[in-house]
Structure 1
Amino acid sequence: MQDVAKEAGVSPQTVSRVANGSDAVKPETRRRVEAAMDKLGYRPNYAARALKHGRFKDIGVVMFNIASFGNSRILKGIAMAANASGYAITIHMMGKDRDRSLAAAVERMKQLPVDGVIIVMEENLPDFNTFTPPRELPVVLISEDPSDTCATVDADQHGCSTAIVDYLLSKGHKTVYHIAGPSTSRAAQSRAQGWRDALEQLGLRIPPTYVGDWDADSGYQAGLALAHDPDCTAIYAANDQMAYGAILGLRAGGRRVPEDVSVVGVDDSLVGMVPRLSLTTMRMKFDEIGLEAFSMLERQCEGGHVPVGVKTVIPTELVERGSVRDIGA
């Protein structure tokens, strides 16, 4: 610290203020100190900072898959909110060769300099109903089901499915076919259950489920098969990639979209990737889920209270484009 102070032409106390994120430093002085830190390779001692202030200003994020559209956007939301509040993030991937449980993930994070943990519950974990977070390390779950011991936030996966089914039925369709995501996915399970419950509640025929893997190719194969089913006039795919693949498969099988078959997806992930995008979808606000998860964790890290046993729901939004036809008009 003395070397940085000498290089920047300031006192060691000023260097300490910059290292600890204090606002009591002029912007020009801050830039000079930071330039000196970079030149000399100085890094603040975060353990010492934690002893002084009681926090590391770092949060842990546990994920199963960082590459999927939804998870990457959730992570973006967390990172944006953390950066705005002066926090860093430490990411831990839930490996297939490890003890896959909430307790194991949190135990791993307890060994790292983090103030709290956000866990993205992409898959079912065996101790979801029994896990209790340690008192010294607050935990927020991004989960379809509310936890009795942790603050919880997510979109309404089940409700978005019932809304899509109701929307397609309002367009004159007699039933709705479903292309589901992989059986290991909690989101896919909830979306499939919402589709099934919506049809059952109205006493309508429940067609066979086609199971995909989130990728467009699996949607293509389902669409190609459904092109030969004359009763299929409406398809709800559990994400936009499978929905877009289904459209191509239907067309390859001689069916037109939306003239012969209407198709709806979920997530709105193809904007900017597919030109002249015509897919109607239910937009998932993944960024907002990440922002809210961080906000809930930060409140706990600073001594605030966040309710457990209930889920904070981030609403979805129907985006109508050109892949649905009103056959009753």
Structure 2
Amino acid sequence: MARSTQISMQDVAREAGVSPQTVSRVANGSDAVRPETRIRVEAAMEKLGYRPNYAARALKHGEFRNIGVVLFNMTTFGNARILNGITAAARDVDYSVTIQTMRSGAERTLKAAVERMKQQPVDGVIVVLEERITDFAEYKPPRDLPVVLVTEGAADHCPTIDGDQYGCSTAIVDYLMSKGHHTVYHISGPVSSRAAESRAKGWREALEQLGAEVPPITIGDWCADSGYQAGIALAHDPNCTAIYAANDQMAYGAMLGLQAAGKRVPQDVSIVGVDDSLVDMVPRLNLTTMRMKFDEIGAAAFSMVRQQCEGEYVPSGVKTVIPTELVERGSVRDISA
């Protein structure tokens, strides 16, 4: 079988009846092309199956206008919304996004993830680092490839950004305690999660600062079923009048578990979640929550890596924190009166 011939700009130019320079302008998104000419060139590209040579473009212009994104998975609400924020911000300035997921086993490191992404035509990399990995503290990015981490905690060698994981917990505890509750029970995320660890720390230290009893923590897995089981168990604790669940799925599951065990929300037990992920999914949603602005986090992470790609300085060792927002619905009762 004969090898297929790669279509060149000259081929497209002949088909469209324009110069190769005009084809180049269209391929690179230049505004210096008349709309009718652009349509004719794009039609010729599609007819011939032309694909821009990004490697050659990078050699000429010094950039691919493409950002790599590495995630542990793309199915969680937070990751999906962060990715949406990244891709929307990239689209607005004619950047592309290449996505990879973190490998398991010995290659589950920052170094391995970035090196694998470096094999792609990317100008910089964003790593959404939701789990603990072994080389976080000592990792140094390549000199020729900017790296931004979306994670809890500052990194010495990379710019980092995240929502206010710790602060959202202290705010929730203060809010529930202001409603007259003597303490707040906590359903945390999995022990592998950096965000869950920080939220649990904020909960514990907020209670300690207020001089309140710190109840035993309940470990969940971000899913509604774990919240449901926790709700059933906590329904039998007479001291439990307020629950803070580390995400909305577990909070909603806990509401159902409490109700299945004969407790009313909020008359008997108040509950608050985090992330506001159930809006437009659960009819008549009554859950008070702390909204995480994931799309804003993604857009800001893209801006940080793009700034570095374009030669601007973005400091390492400092974490950019995107504040959260309390959304009051009807799952909290004021018992102070």
TM range (shorter): over 0.9
Alpha-carbon separation, structure 2, partners of 1:219 and 1:31? 54
> Structure 1, unaligned stretches of length 5 or more?
none
Match 2:233 to one of 210, 225, 232: 225
1:27 offset after TM fit, Å? 2.5
CA displacement, residues 185-204 of structure 1 (integer Å, 9 cap, x when unaligned): 11111111110110111221
Match 2:174 to one of 148, 166, 191: 166
1:98 offset after TM fit, Å? 4.7
CA displacement, residues 41-72 of structure 1 (integer Å, 9 cap, x when unaligned): 10000000000000111111010011000000
> Structure 2, unaligned stretches of length 5 or more?
1-8
Give the partner amino acid of 1:90. T
- State the partner residue of 1:186: 194
Alpha-carbon separation, structure 2, partners of 1:321 and 1:7? 61
- Within-5 A mapping of 1:281-300: 281-300=289-308
Alpha-carbon separation, structure 2, partners of 1:123 and 1:239? 16
CA displacement, residues 247-278 of structure 1 (integer Å, 9 cap, x when unaligned): 00000000000000000000000011100101
Alpha-carbon separation, structure 2, partners of 1:109 and 1:194? 34
Give the partner amino acid of 1:313. V
1:20 correspondence with 2:28: yes
- State the partner residue of 1:237: 245
1:319 offset after TM fit, Å? 0.1
CA displacement, residues 206-233 of structure 1 (integer Å, 9 cap, x when unaligned): 1111111111011000000111111100
Match 1:74 to one of 66, 71, 82: 82
Structure 1 SS opposite 2:105: coil
Q: Aligned residues, how many?
A: 329
Give me the identity figure in percent. Answer: 74
- State the partner residue of 1:110: 118
Match 1:44 to one of 26, 48, 52: 52
Structure 2 SS opposite 1:235: strand
1:251 correspondence with 2:256: no
Give the partner amino acid of 1:141. L
1:135 correspondence with 2:143: yes
TM-score by length of 2: 0.96
Instruction: Say if 2:103 and 2:113, in contact at 8 Å, map to a contact too.
Output: no
Instruction: Say if 2:231 and 2:255, in contact at 8 Å, map to a contact too.
Output: yes
1:318 correspondence with 2:329: no
1:213 correspondence with 2:229: no
Query: Which ranges of 4 or more aligned residues in structure 1 deviate by more than 4 Å?
Result: none
- State the partner residue of 2:5: none
Alpha-carbon separation, structure 2, partners of 1:98 and 1:81? 33
Alpha-carbon separation, structure 1, partners of 2:209 and 2:151? 25
